[in-house]
Structure 1
Amino acid sequence: MKIQWYKIVVWILIGALVLFFLLAVWYKNRYSMDAAEPYTMYSKTFDRKLLIATQGSTFKDSLVQNVVRYYENDSVFIMIIDVSALPEIDPGDFNATLVLHTWEYGRAPEEVETFVGKNRDHLGKVIMFATSGEGNNSIEGIDGLAGASTIKDIFLYTDWILLKLDALLPREKSQAYFLEPQHR
């Protein structure tokens, strides 16, 4: 009994689709980010408010810890959320929003794109940091930086983020570090 050529082609296509599906599942499990645990720091009554939307990874967790540590002696309320919650957030409630996300499948996560699309009027208060393998992907028209998740560069990225955040969350005069001129 002869096997017809179209049956062979169908089986090859089915095999290719199954292989593609398995590779997609493996890629998603291997490279997708964990969910970040939401929490808040300091008092909601503070005038200056910072929202940090992030994904769970050692690199992003370190960036968040560095930012929180930097503001620990300032009167800044900090809310940390997972990027999946971004579409429900009103950035008008915050003086600054820092979004840390991974570039997946050639684009930002859908929640980040939705947030950007819904909040065009508040993008001047939004800072993005996108991680990717190449470290060169970012959302066009948004103040941001892209880089690889390289722990050795964590302080370089932290300094850049804090420089941008300080412009949006200026320190109170009593907390600013100014040197008084010396008179002789």
Structure 2
Amino acid sequence: MDKKKKVNYRQKTSLIILICASLLYLYWYNQDFSKEIIKKQDVKSLSLEGKLLIAASNSPFKDSIKGLIIDHYKSTSVIVEVIPIKNLTTKDITDFDAILILHRWEAGKPTEIVQSFIENNISLKDRMVMLTTSWNGLEKMKNADAITGASIIENVPSFSDRIIKKLNPLLR
């Protein structure tokens, strides 16, 4: 083979390997996160000020935010319940004063669970606070007011503060 054909062959081979690796990653990602497990966590106090539901998908970024939110409300009389995002559509939300949804943007849209939940509970959107993470940090649903951003761990404290500022009026 001459030099030009070798380069062309290498480029094609590299492209095929890249495509296969991307498809394998997407398959793994969907399999891994569709089976996410989040233990139900309750934080309770004696006198009740409000009830907060946190529905979250697992990621180091969202787990860190969730931890800061829970820590913030531990010293208050707010009850906090945490569920996996996949249980959002089956959860009775009528007793909650605030609902925090921590979700990711996938393939140009929200997950089907989040989309369905918002569509079915549009009348309760004034109780909802959303954090939508995406690769560019700009994506969000049309019918929902959301805090948006990329999952950068260094930004966890500022995102947590913004979320708490939105939650506090709903829980008092």
Taking structure 2 as the reference length, what is the TM-score of the superposition? 0.80
Distance 1:110 1:90 in 2: 18
Q: Deviations over 1:104-136 (max 9, x none)?
A: 111111111111011111111001101111011
Q: Which residue pairs with 2:160 in the alignment?
A: 158
Q: Deviations over 1:86-107 (max 9, x none)?
A: 0012322100000000111111
Please list, as runs of the form range in 1=range in 2, the aligned pairs for 1:7-156 lying within 5 A after superposition: 23-30=22-29, 33=33, 34-42=36-44, 46-156=48-158
Task: Tell me, yes or no, if the aligned pair for 1:59 and 1:149 is still in contact at 8 Å.
Answer: yes
Distance 1:39 1:133, change over 3 A: same
After alignment, is 51-60 or 87-96 more displaced?
Answer: 87-96
Task: Tell me, yes or no, if the aligned pair for 1:47 and 1:75 is still in contact at 8 Å.
Answer: yes
Listed as ranges, the gaps of 5+ residues in structure 2 are 1-15
Distance 2:84 2:116 in 1: 14
Taking structure 1 as the reference length, what is the TM-score of the superposition? 0.75
Whose relative contact order is higher, 1 or 2, with alpha carbons under 8 Å and at least 6 apart? 2
Q: Which residue pairs with 1:175 in the alignment?
A: none
Looking at secondary structure, tell me which structure has more helix per residue: 2
Task: Tell me, yes or no, if the aligned pair for 1:44 and 1:77 is still in contact at 8 Å.
Answer: no
Quote how far apart the aligned CAs of 1:23 are: 3.7
* Percent identity of equivalent pairs: 30
Task: Tell me, yes or no, if the aligned pair for 1:55 and 1:100 is still in contact at 8 Å.
Answer: yes
Count of matched residue pairs = 153
Give the secondary structure class of the aligned counterpart of 1:136.
coil
Listed as ranges, the gaps of 5+ residues in structure 1 are 1-15, 171-184
Give the secondary structure class of the aligned counterpart of 1:163.
helix
Task: Tell me, yes or no, if the aligned pair for 2:49 and 2:171 is still in contact at 8 Å.
Answer: no
Give the secondary structure class of the aligned counterpart of 2:106.
coil
Task: Tell me, yes or no, if the aligned pair for 2:46 and 2:77 is still in contact at 8 Å.
Answer: no
Quote how far apart the aligned CAs of 1:44 are: 9.2
Distance 1:47 1:159, change over 3 A: closer
Q: Deviations over 1:58-82 (max 9, x none)?
A: 1111101100111111111110001
Q: Which residue pairs with 1:6 in the alignment?
A: none
Distance 1:110 1:23 in 2: 22
Distance 1:21 1:105 in 2: 18
Quote how far apart the aligned CAs of 1:141 are: 2.5
Alignment RMSD, CA only?
2.3
Distance 2:45 2:111 in 1: 30
